[in-house]
Amino acid sequence: MSRPNISRSLILALVCSILLAVPASAQHFQQVKGTLVSVSAGRNEVFGFDTKGQVWRYNAKTTTFTKIKGAFLVDIAVGGGTLSQLDEIWGVSSSDAVLHFNYSTKTFDQITGTLSQITVGVGHEDQCHPYEVWGINSNQNVFRYDYCAGQFEQIPGILTQIATGGSDVWGLNNGQIFHYSFSQEKFAELSGSLTQIAVGVNDVWGINGDQEVFRFDPNTGNWILVGASSDQVAAGGDGAWLIAGSDNVYRFDSSSESFVELSGSLKSVAVGSGAGIFGVNSANQVFTWVRP
C-alpha cells in the first residue's frame, strides 16, 4: 500500500508537535466515579459500557454514570446532536444485534439487522437522514440507516473501519482510504494508507502503520504529517486528541498547529461535540477533561 502524501514543508512541525510537552496546568483530567471499558460522547450525551457489557449513561448534573437496565453492548456510538436535535445513541451487542436508545423509555430497542461496528453523526441535510448512522457487518458490508424506511440499507463497498462527523463519512479497507460522495452515492478511494481514521467537525485525521499521525488537507487532497508514535486519534467538536507512548495524552493546539502533551494517562479517549472529553485508563477508571 502507498503511504499518505506528505507535505515536506511541514515536517518541521513534527519537531514541535507531540514529542514536545507543553504544560496546561490550568486544565486537567478529573476522575469520574465508576469503571468502564469504553466511552462515547456527543453534544449532550455520554454513554459507555463496563467489562460485563452493561451500559451506563452519564448525568452531567450529578457527574455520575447511571446503569441502563437490561442493556448489554460491545460497541456504542453517540452523536448527531445539534441545537435543534438530541444526540442519537446506537449500539451493537455481542451477537451483532443492533440497538437504538429510546429516550421515552430510557431503554434500548432492537432494530432489524446485524452489525459488528456502528457510528453516528450529524445528518447530510436529507429528510430521511437527519443523522448519519452507518455500520459494517461481519462480512465488511456497509450499511446506512434510512429514517424514512426505518431500516438499514446496504451501500456498495467493503470496509473494515468506518467513521462519520460533520456530515461526512470516511472508511478504511485494510489500509486503503475511502471517502463517501453523497452526490455520486458511492465511496471513492483516495491515495495513501491508514490503519485508523477519525472524523471531526471540519477535519479528518489518521494514523498509518508506522504510527505516524496525519491530517487531511481538502484543498490539495494530501495527507499532512503532524506527529509520530501515536496509538489512537480521536476527533470531534471538542478538537483532536491523541494517545501515544505509555498512554500519554495530547491535544491539538490550533494556534501552534501542533499537539501538546497533557497531564494524565489514558488508554483511550472520546471526544464529544459539546458533552466534553472523556477517557479511560488501563484500570478502566473514567476521567473527564475539566477546564477552569
Structural domains counted in the chain: 1
264/88 Cα distance (integer angstroms): 29
The pLDDT value recorded for residue 228 is 87
**Do the domain assignments include residue 232?**
yes
222/214 Cα distance (integer angstroms): 9
**Do the domain assignments include residue 65?**
yes
**Do the domain assignments include residue 257?**
yes
211/5 Cα distance (integer angstroms): 15
Q: What is the pLDDT along the chain (292 residues), one digit of tens a residue?
A: 445 544 433 333 433 343 334 344 578 999 999 999 999 999 999 999 999 999 999 999 999 999 999 999 999 999 999 999 999 999 999 999 999 999 999 999 999 999 999 999 999 889 999 999 999 999 999 999 999 999 999 999 999 999 999 999 999 999 999 999 999 999 999 999 999 999 999 999 999 999 999 999 999 999 999 988 999 999 999 999 999 988 999 999 989 989 999 999 999 999 999 999 999 999 999 999 998 6
The set of cell numbers assigned to 220 is 490539495
Counting beta carbons within 10 angstroms of the beta carbon of residue 264, is it exposed (0 to 12), middle (13 to 18) or buried (19 or more)?
middle
Closest CA to 266 of 28, 67, 61: 28
**Do the domain assignments include residue 240?**
yes
**Do the domain assignments include residue 2?**
no
Query: Residue 111: which CATH number?
Result: 2.130.10.10
**Do the domain assignments include residue 194?**
yes
* CB-facing half-sphere around the CA of 76: CA atoms within 13 A: 28
pTM for this structure?
A: 0.90
272/278 Cα distance (integer angstroms): 8
- Sheet-wide strand order for 151-158: 117-126, 129-136, 141-146, 151-158
The pLDDT value recorded for residue 1 is 44
Q: Phi-psi region for residue 264, left (φ > 0), alpha (ψ -120 to 50) or beta?
A: left
Q: Are 48 and 36 in contact (CB under 8 A)?
A: yes
**Do the domain assignments include residue 1?**
no
Task: Give the domain range for residue 160.
Answer: 8-290
**Do the domain assignments include residue 40?**
yes
